Structure formats: structure tokens, C-alpha cells
Amino acid sequence: MPPPAPPVDAALLPAGYRINEYNIERPLGSGGFGITYLARDSNLQLPVAIKEYFPSELVTRGADQSVRVRGGHADQQDQYRWGLERFLDEARALATFRHPGIVRVLRYFRENGTAYIVMEYESGLSLKRWVPQNAPLSQGALLAIIYPLLDGLEAVHKTGFLHRDIKPDNIYVRADGTPVLLDFGAARRVTADRDMTNIVSPGFAPFEQYHSQGNQGPWSDIYSLGAVMYWMTTGKKPMESASRVKSDTMLPASSLAEVSVYGAALLDAIEWSMSPDEGQRPQTVAHFRAAVRGSERPQANQSMGGPQPDRPAIGHAEQAPAVWGTPLWAPSGSPRRNLMCTIMFLDLVGGAARSADDQVALKKQFDELIAKSLQGVPEDSRIAIDTGNGAAICFMGDPEEPLHAAMLLRDLLGQRHGGLVSARIGLHMGPVRVVSDINGRVNVVGDGINVAQRVMDFAQGKQVLVSRSYYDVISRITDDTAGLFEYLGQYEDKHARKHEVYAVTSQRGAGNTRREGPSTGYTQTLPVTSIRALEPGEVHEVEMDLARNIGPLARVLVRKAQALAPSTIQAMREALAPSIQEAKAREAFLAGGQGSPWKSHVGSSSRPMSSPRSQPLRSGPGTQGVGITAADLAVVEQTLSRFIGPMARMLVRKETGRTSSFREFVKAVALNIDQPEQRDQFMQALKRSLPPRQP
């Protein structure tokens, strides 16, 4: 009888221990077959996870950190050697996997009388912790986790392996929201000449894994994944499968989960996967995936881009067909709007010479990298359209976000594919119109997206180019981005239209040096903290004037320009003027709006625009005697622009000549907002902004 196993702490490699080029930092976890450590690659200075083959029932650790079989019996020695060879065989197989849903094996080696597998270190939360923090989950959020896991599991099964230990602890959700399947310590190749060891995680292991001669196969992993889905939808850990064989008293998912949230078909698929009899379950991942896909609600197919409610993860090829006009994801609210935004146009390079299957897989990986590069950008501030070999993404928020996303995507492609695959990327700031087609799908049209595509056409692989309009804006509202650009000159597209183009370099400039814009004659100003702060009313007035021309983006640009501490209100106007496309409108904005009929000519420029002004507006036959002041009109226009964009200016002007009272004027303006709830929000916002009116 061998001596008892030593305490876990005594079996661990100590912190600071060096094995090959890896320095052990701390243990991450341990099980019956091995111990996993967090370590650092001293050559690359990167964190890695190292799994050591250490079957605790058979071995002990010596003073020199070597692993030795306890007892020395021949059968124990044989058992250890056989397990060690299987550990290495499985490491070789797992090292061939290149799937985002499976932890990646970097290398393996023998040392200390045992073997080690070096894997990428995945930071994030285990599903066991992630689910409670994000509960309650919608159907879309659930499927955003499950689809990548199904794809990864299918890749494992195709090599003849089973995972055999799928449970919430062994699924991690990365910082970008994508899941990864960890801990292949229990993985085994399905063979006919040797029994498989029994692996049991109570509640998640099927009955056939309770004994070494059980009929284990792909259906065994499907049971475990179904059990994870049961826990995610009901919040209850499933009963142990051994207790369900003779008399199944476990409550079905449909009786515990919200059918209205997940749908009866999805809950039925979960129950099918968890049948105690392995012959009654889906026999392959493809069978189970078909059942899950058939349960999807229509809205779950409309939006993609991360594990948010009703937003399955971007990158699933069957959910994001490569057809122009098919939205990958879109912001909520009315889809029929005019917007000034930054457009990023992407085109994948390097896949044409590959086989059709490889091209599909490559596009799927590309979509996943797009989603990762957009992590942190609010979903309601962007719209993305799949263009077949790339994507077009409209950013309606901070114009720095698309620049950072483009640079991150360029770098991620280089890291993932070693430069063999790249992307051409073009950035432009311009007007677009958001529309919906006959099927209710979101699309984006207009000159802004056309110019972004032209700019992208001028790019080479691994290159990010930006238009003159984007450069003018981004270089003036930030001090540390102008140094990223190199002026390339004028390019002519196939329509004989000329475009001034700038390339995004890999390194930022010094940041505090003065830079002369190659095509603008603009000298960047440095932040000044000793000058007086601008009055809130002055800033508000600038924002309102800018919003008349470019819509809701004005608020973001004004905030960023304000951070540079301009010394005068005119300096702020000069910094913001390039965002206005039309020359006459830009001149009027620079002149302080004096040339515009919408600029109030009464009162100090430092007064808040919401303060009452006495000068009535007389710009149309129906406005005389109505009592609509220029200030009233400006507030209505600014508020409306938040909901429908630059068209607010034209519509407000049109309505001022048609109504006989201020109340009728406001009602008529509100009808230009499609959604009733947004119309109510407009009325409430207007009520807060306008001064009380005399009855």
C-alpha cells in the first residue's frame, strides 16, 4: 500500500523556480492529473500558463523538485509512464488547435522526471463568476457564449479527442467578452484498446464517465455543455447524472427558466442534450448546434458584437453572412437618421489565394478581431455593415475611437497571422444617412461612406489611411494624435475625384512639439492652464452652432476641444470648424454665426442659450406675432438635432413659417421624430431647456 499523498502545498513548485526559460510565479489550480502555474517567459517577457503532469495519487515531489512515483511498484511505474506518454501525445494534438474558443498550446517539454505544457495565459473571469455578475442573461447573451464553445468543441472532436471536464470553472470569459475552453488535463483520445479513466465533476459529468468502461464519445461533452447551459438559464446546478439513471427527478429547464426569455425550443434542446441515456442525446456537435440555432429568436440574428443582451458575438459565419447591407450590429433607436460621423472602411488582404474553406475560416477570424478591436466602444454609438471581404463601421461618438480601433486591428492581425494576412483600412469624417431596407435591416448610405471606401482603396496591406477632413478634426481636438500622421499628398480615384490622404504611422510624435499641417497651414496649439476658463454659456453657444451643421457629434467634439483649454471662444471655433463640410456653413460658424438667420443677435455671447431673450424671430409669413424668439428657435433646433441629426435645421426653419402658435410649432417639429418614445423624450428635454412661457 503506497503512502498517502502529500499535501497540495508540498507538491507545488515554489515561486521563483526557473524551468527552462520560464519563471514560476504562482499556482493557478490543481486537479487529479496535474498542477497549473502562472509563469513568465523570460525571453518574451510575457505571462504564460504551464501545466505540469502530476497525478497526485501516484507521485511525490523530491527536494530537487523532480517528480517520483511513490512506492516503486512495477504496476505503478507502468501506470505513470503510460499516463505521461498520453499527456505528451495529447499535448502534441492540442498544440495543433488554432481556434479562438480553445486555449492555445505554445510548446511542451520533458523535465524533472515529468512533462510540461506551456499555454497562452488567458485573463478574465471564469463562467462561474461571470454569469452571476451579468445575470439575468438574455437568449442572445447565452448564445454569444455557447456558439464559440460549440465551434471549439467540434474542432476537438474532429481530432478524435474528448474534453471530458466541461464545467463553469473550466470556461473563461476574456476581457473582450469572448469565451475560451480551458483545462484539457482530462482530455483523452477515444480508443478501442484501452479503458478511459473515470472523470467526474458532479452535476456536469454524464453517467458514462462515472466508470472506466462507460461508452464515452462526443455526446459526453455535449451532456456537460448542456448542463452548463442548464445552470446558466435556471441558476440551478443540475442533479448528478448517476442519480438520474433509474429515476429522473430533475426538474426540466422549461419549468425553472423563463420561457419568455429563452424560448421553449432552446430549453428543449438543453433537455435533449442532458438525457441520462447517451443514445438519446445529440450524437455530434453539428446535431446539437442545429437544434440550438433553430431556437433563435429573430432579434438575436439582427445584432452582433459582444455578449450583450440579444447581441450574439460577432464572427459566427452563419449569423453574419458576407453580403453588403447585412448589419453586423446597429444602435438602438430609429434607423432613419442623417449623421455626421467617422467611417472606418476595412478590406481583408491575403485571403484570395486560399481555398474556399480557408477563406471562410479567415473571414470568421477577421470578424472576431474586429469585435475585439471595438471592445470598449459603446454599441449604441456605432453601426457596422458586413461588406463581404471586410466591413464598414460608422462611429457616432468620440472620433479618436475609430483611430485606436484601426491601429489595434492592424496590430492584432500581425500578431495572429504573422503578417501573412493583413487589412487595408480607411478613415473619413463625413455625412451619412442611416436607413432600413424592406426587411427592416439597417444600412448606411451617403457620401461619407463612399469617400471612406475611396481612401481605403489607396491603402496597401497593413496600412491605415485617413482623409483630409478626418485629419483636420482629429489633429485639432487632441494634442497627442497629430504626430501619428504623415501627409502623402493628393490621390485621384476612378471618378477623377481628388483626395488628400494621410498615413497613420506606428509611433506617436513627441506630443508637445509644434506641428505645421502639410495641407492646412494649421499650427497646433498647446494646452494652456493659466488662461481664464470659458464661460459655460459661451461653450454652449458654440456647441449649438456646431450641432446645426453636424448633429449630435458636436457635443463630443466640443468636449474634446474644451480639454485643450483654448484661450478664447474664437480659438475653439477655429479648432472645430474643419468638422463642417460645407464651406459657407464653415465660414458662418467661424464668424460666430452672425451670418446665419438662426443666430440670436440680442444679448451677450456669454449668456446661456436657454435664457429668455426678447427679440422675436420674423423670418417667415407665419411668424409675426407668434412670439417665437431666436433663442427659442435655437433651443428647439439643438434639442431636435440630438434625435434626427443635421436635418433639424431645415425642418425647424420649415415649420416656423407654418404655425400660428408656439405650442403648434413644437408639436409640428416633434412629428419629425419617428419613434413615439423618442418623441416624448424630445418634449421632456425641450421643457427642461426652455424658460416658462407666459399663458
Residues 6+ apart with CB under 8 A from 361: none
Report how far residue 215's alpha carbon sits from residue 208's, in angstroms, rounded to the nearest whole number.
Answer: 6
- The answer to whether position 183 is within a domain reads yes
pLDDT at 238: 93
Strand partners, 385: 327, 392
- The answer to whether position 272 is within a domain reads yes
Using pLDDT thresholds of 50, 70 and 90, give the confidence band for residue 105. Answer: confident
Q: Are the C-beta atoms of 218 and 285 separated by less than 8 Å?
A: yes
pLDDT at 623: 38
pLDDT at 52: 92
For β-strands 161-162 and 422-436, DSSP reports them as: unpaired
pLDDT at 114: 95
Does the structure show a pLDDT above 50 at 460? yes
Contacts 24+ apart (CB under 8 A), 403-406: 403/427, 403/466, 403/474, 403/481, 403/484, 403/504, 405/344, 405/373, 405/374, 405/377, 406/344, 406/373, 406/464, 406/504
For β-strands 171-174 and 179-181, DSSP reports them as: antiparallel
pLDDT at 287: 92
pLDDT at 237: 92
Neighbour-count burial for 650-679, b at 16+ CB within 10 Å, e otherwise: ebbeebbeebeebeebbebbbebbeeeebb
**Secondary element (H or E) of residue 485:** strand 485-492
pLDDT at 267: 93
Does the structure show a pLDDT above 60 at 388? yes
Report how far apart, in Å, the C-alpha atoms of 135 and of each of 18, 56, 128, 361 are: 42, 37, 11, 32
Q: What is the DSSP letter of 108?
A: E
Using pLDDT thresholds of 50, 70 and 90, give the confidence band for residue 567. Answer: confident
- The answer to whether position 339 is within a domain reads yes
Q: Domain holding 279: CATH number? A: 1.10.510.10
Mean pLDDT of the chain: 75
- Are both 685 and 614 inside the same structural domain? yes
- Are both 109 and 131 inside the same structural domain? no
Does the structure show a pLDDT above 80 at 657? no
Q: For residue range 392-408, list pLDDT tens digits in order.
A: 899 888 888 888 888 88
Q: Are the C-beta atoms of 608 and 536 separated by less than 8 Å?
A: yes
- Are both 650 and 579 inside the same structural domain? no
pTM: 0.44
Report how far residue 141's alpha carbon sits from residue 679's, in angstroms, rounded to the nearest whole number.
Answer: 30
SS3 of residue 129 by DSSP: helix
Q: What is the mean pLDDT of residues 317-328?
A: 33
Residues 6+ apart with CB under 8 A from 17: 23, 24, 65
The DSSP-derived string for 205-264 is S-GGGGSTTS--SHHHHHHHHHHHHHHHHHSSPPPPGGGGSSS--PPPHHHHS-HHHH-H
- Are both 289 and 356 inside the same structural domain? no
- Are both 141 and 206 inside the same structural domain? yes
Does the structure show a pLDDT above 80 at 263? yes
- The answer to whether position 518 is within a domain reads no
Report how far residue 639's alpha carbon sits from residue 660's, in angstroms, rounded to the nearest whole number.
Answer: 21
34 phi and psi angles, rounded to 5 deg: -175, 180
Does the structure show a pLDDT above 60 at 30? yes
Who has greater pLDDT, 231 or 475? 231
- Are both 281 and 359 inside the same structural domain? no
Tell me what percent of the residues of the chain surpass a pLDDT of 90.
Answer: 19
**Radius of gyration (C-alpha) of the chain in whole angstroms:** 31
Who has greater pLDDT, 656 or 54? 54
pLDDT at 341: 86
- Are both 590 and 644 inside the same structural domain? no
Does the structure show a pLDDT above 50 at 523? no
Using pLDDT thresholds of 50, 70 and 90, give the confidence band for residue 286. Answer: very high
Here the cell at position 648 is: 433639424
- Are both 284 and 268 inside the same structural domain? yes
Does the structure show a pLDDT above 80 at 268? yes
Report how far residue 327's alpha carbon sits from residue 267's, in angstroms, rounded to the nearest whole number.
Answer: 28
- The answer to whether position 515 is within a domain reads no
Domain residues for 110? 8-120
pLDDT at 303: 33
- Are both 210 and 166 inside the same structural domain? yes
Examine the fold and report which residue of 596, 615, 645 is the final residue of a domain before the chain moves on.
596
Does the structure show a pLDDT above 70 at 331? no
Residues 6+ apart with CB under 8 A from 647: 338, 672
Report how far residue 452's alpha carbon sits from residue 467's, in angstroms, rounded to the nearest whole number.
Answer: 8
- The answer to whether position 636 is within a domain reads yes
The DSSP-derived string for 655-683 is HHTT-SSHHHHHHHHHTT--SHHHHHHHH
Most confident of 244-253, 535-544, 558-567, 671-680: 244-253
The DSSP-derived string for 618-631 is --STT-TTT--BHH
Q: Are the C-beta atoms of 558 and 398 separated by less than 8 Å?
A: no
Number of structural domains, the chain? 5
Q: What is the mean pLDDT of residues 174-190?
A: 72
Report how far residue 247's alpha carbon sits from residue 254's, in angstroms, rounded to the nearest whole number.
Answer: 19
- The answer to whether position 434 is within a domain reads yes
Q: Domain holding 378: CATH number? A: 3.30.70.1230
Examine the fold and report which residue of 300, 325, 357 is the final residue of a domain before the chain moves on.
300
Here the cell at position 158 is: 474532429
Does the structure show a pLDDT above 50 at 314? no
Q: Which of 334-338, 434-438, 563-567, 642-646 has the lowest mean pLDDT?
A: 334-338
Using pLDDT thresholds of 50, 70 and 90, give the confidence band for residue 117. Answer: very high
Does the structure show a pLDDT above 90 at 56? no
- Are both 410 and 296 inside the same structural domain? no
- Are both 296 and 321 inside the same structural domain? no
Q: What is the mean pLDDT of residues 359-386?
A: 81
Q: What is the mean pLDDT of residues 231-258?
A: 90
Strand partners, 466: 427, 502
Question: Of 75, 83, 323, 307, which is closest to residue 178 (Cα–Cα)?
Answer: 307
Examine the fold and report which residue of 300, 335, 350 is the final residue of a domain before the chain moves on.
300
Q: Which of 284-293, 341-350, 452-461, 650-659 has the lowest mean pLDDT?
A: 650-659
- Are both 51 and 168 inside the same structural domain? no
Who has greater pLDDT, 322 or 474? 474
Does the structure show a pLDDT above 60 at 627? no
Q: Domain holding 83: CATH number? A: 3.30.200.20
Report how far apart, in Å, the C-alpha atoms of 618 and of each of 562, 615, 640, 656, 695 are: 34, 9, 21, 9, 21
- The answer to whether position 483 is within a domain reads yes
